[in-house]
Amino acid sequence: MNTAIIYRLLTMVFLALAGGFLLCGGVGLLMGEALGSAAPRAFGIAIAVSLVLALLAHWIGRQGTPKLFRREALCAIGMSWIFATLIGSIPYVLIVENCEFSDAVFESCSGLTTTGATAFSNFHEFPKSLLLWRSLSQWVGGLGVVVFFVAILSSLGAGAKILFSNESSGASSDFEQGRVQRGAFHLLLYYLGLTGACLLSYRFGGMDWFQAVNHAMTTVATGGFSTEAGSFEHFNSPMLEWIAIVFMILSATTFILVIRLIRARAFKLHNFHEVIWFYSLLLISVGLLTVYLVELDGTLPDHEMIRTAAFQATSIMTTTGYASADFDTWLPPAKMLLIILMFVGGCSGSTAGGIKIVRVVIALRAAIQSIIHSFRSNITLPMRMGGRLLGERAIQSVVVFLLLMVSLQIISMLFVSAIEPHLSFIGVFSSVQSTLFNIGPGFDAVGPSENFHFMRGITKCYLCLLMILGRLELYAVLVLFAPSVWKRYS
């Protein structure tokens, strides 16, 4: 294990956190927070801690070789998210009155992993600087801290490809000629542009500048943190909800496709099967939810009913987690449909969470092939996805990943139910699913109008682990617990 390169990468993460804290603290001062109040002091301490850790990590890794292999990349990514979660909790601990450490860690982890679940019922009363940190942490976590500095760190060379392919949901092979750093930089530019467009749309849709900035960051990151206790229900604005729907969908669509559309690059739409499946499933879900709402209200469908169905279907499938209505009061078929959408998630190569459409499609095709082989054993059925022929190993890796995720969900439900015996089955199920798949709100005790504060500290810490596992898609965290990975570098 070449630990020196890991420390060098962690240095960049610590410096990025310090920059984020400085920005939030500075904005707080500009918006009227007194220099000697709790918020500026807390961000000052957080900046100091981040800089000290950056200096320490730089000193430890100063003489190491720059060689970066797959195991070092996985370890660096896993450790980056764990350290960022712990350091990101400092402002909550120091600013929020009577704040439990587990609540602070949970909120920090929920932000950085773009989950959007909260452990605070009074978050809307936070100082402006802390509200901005909640939103900024989601925005940075949308593409990932690692992708951000891969775009600007040229010294990694070929190692950038390893980091990018393991941190982002997209494959590095999507960029021509292996120019991963250039590709990551284009992603960053698109991310910035999409955020700016969303910000202006919200502002002219009725939000003030502070609300627009915060909601733009959490919409594009498909994170779902809001500055208001009632989320989008607070604004009671059809225009703002439609704006959110558009940008949630764009943020959950494969970024490579949108970038090629913007640059007028030639491409074949049938090579993006995942996007077609995503939009088709979303449209079907909106239609079904509208039918269920008609059955619930006993009235004919109207614009408001269709908008509510579209907003919640989009919010859940893109794993954003905004709420414009309390869907925990909807009919059981509607809840079941939302649970399925939570599991499926958005497209790969986007900021959305969940299993990802592409894996579900591959698994379904593999199941169909298995059925056909049961009575036609000699036939060969090649499988293509995105214009590429999938090998047996690729298909097997998808099936194994799905099996691991389902197994982890079952084991986690057993653990949470043992620690929180007062929770109902649906409460246990949705608390695990909403964190593992980075959704945010769930049902019952963790519904859209509730929070996770009532849970025990050990439960919230375990759910934080699930959030990171879901965000990094298991392997970058699980590898940290493999002894063979930590053998001496050679």
Closest CA to 120 of 86, 85, 83, 95: 95
Instruction: Check whether 175 has a pLDDT greater than 60.
Output: no
HSE-up of residue 274 (Cα within 13 Å, Cβ side): 27
pLDDT above 80 (res 179): no
pLDDT of 57 strictly over 60:
yes
Concatenating the DSSP letter of every residue in 261-306 gives: HHTT----GGG-HHHHHHHHHHHHHHHHHHHHHHHHHTS---HHHH
Q: Give the per-residue pLDDT at 269.
A: 57
**What b/e readout covers 277-300, taking b as 16+ CB neighbours within 10 angstroms?**
bbeebbeebbeebbbbbbeeeeee
Q: Is the dihedral of CA 106, 108, 109, 113 positive or negative?
A: positive
Is-contact 33 39, C-beta < 8 A? yes
Ranges 20-29, 69-78, 166-175, 276-285: which has the least confidence: 166-175
Q: Phi-psi bin for 178: left (phi > 0), alpha (psi -120 to 50), beta?
A: left
- Residue range 359-415, pLDDT digits in tens: 898 899 888 888 888 887 777 777 777 667 778 888 888 889 999 999 999 999 999
Instruction: Name every residue whose Cβ is closer than 8 Å to that of residue 96 and which is 6 or more positions away in sequence.
Output: 103, 104, 120, 126, 130
d(CA 354, CA 315): 12
Report residue 268's pLDDT band, with 50, 70 and 90 as the boundaries: low
Q: At 357, which amino acid appears?
A: I
Pick from 112, 93, 113: nearest CA to 101 = 93
pTM of the model: 0.90
Distance separating alpha carbons of residues 16 and 227, to the nearest angstrom: 23
CA distance 319 to 198: 18
Decide if 13 contacts 58 (C-beta within 8 A): no
What phi, psi does 388 have (nearest 5°)?
Answer: -115, 145
Identify the pLDDT of residue 154. 47
pLDDT in tens, 422-454: 999 999 999 999 999 999 999 999 999 899 999
Q: What distance in Å separates the CA atoms of residue 259 and residue 16, rounded to the nearest whole number?
A: 26
DSSP character at residue 309: H
Q: In sequence order, which ranges of 113-254 are alpha helices (DSSP H)? A: 128-143, 145-150, 159-167, 180-205, 209-220, 238-252
Name the β-bridge partners of 389: 384
Q: 228 and 234 in contact (C-beta within 8 Å)?
A: yes
Let me know: does 466 contact 404? Beta carbons within 8 Å.
Answer: no
Read off the pLDDT of residues 189-238 as tens digits, 9 standing for 90 and up: 889 999 999 999 999 999 999 999 999 999 999 999 999 998 999 999 99
CA distance 167 to 142: 11
pLDDT tens digit string along 159-171? 555 555 555 555 4
Measure the CA–CA gap between 354 and 471, rounded to whole angstroms: 9
Cβ atoms within 10 Å, residue 420? 17
Task: Please give the average per-residue pLDDT across 19-42, as a whole number.
Answer: 93
The pLDDT score that the predictor gives to residue 290 is 95
Mean pLDDT (the chain, rounded): 86
pLDDT reported for residue 302: 87
Q: Cα–Cα distance between 109 and 116 in angstroms, integer?
A: 9
Using H for helix, E for strand and C for coil, what is the string for 80-133?
Answer: HHHHHHHHHCHHHHHHCCCCCHHHHHHHHHHHHCCCCCCCCCCHHHCCHHHHHH
pLDDT at residue 484 is higher than 60: yes
d(CA 362, CA 134): 35
**Collapsing DSSP states into helix, strand and coil, what is residue 355?**
coil
**Model confidence pLDDT, tens digit, residues 314-330:** 999 999 999 988 899 99
- Write the single-letter amino acid at 64: G
What's the full length of the chain, in residues? Answer: 490
The model's pLDDT over 335-361, given as tens digits with 9 standing for 90+, comes to 999 999 999 999 888 889 899 998 898
In eight-state DSSP terms, residue 391 is P
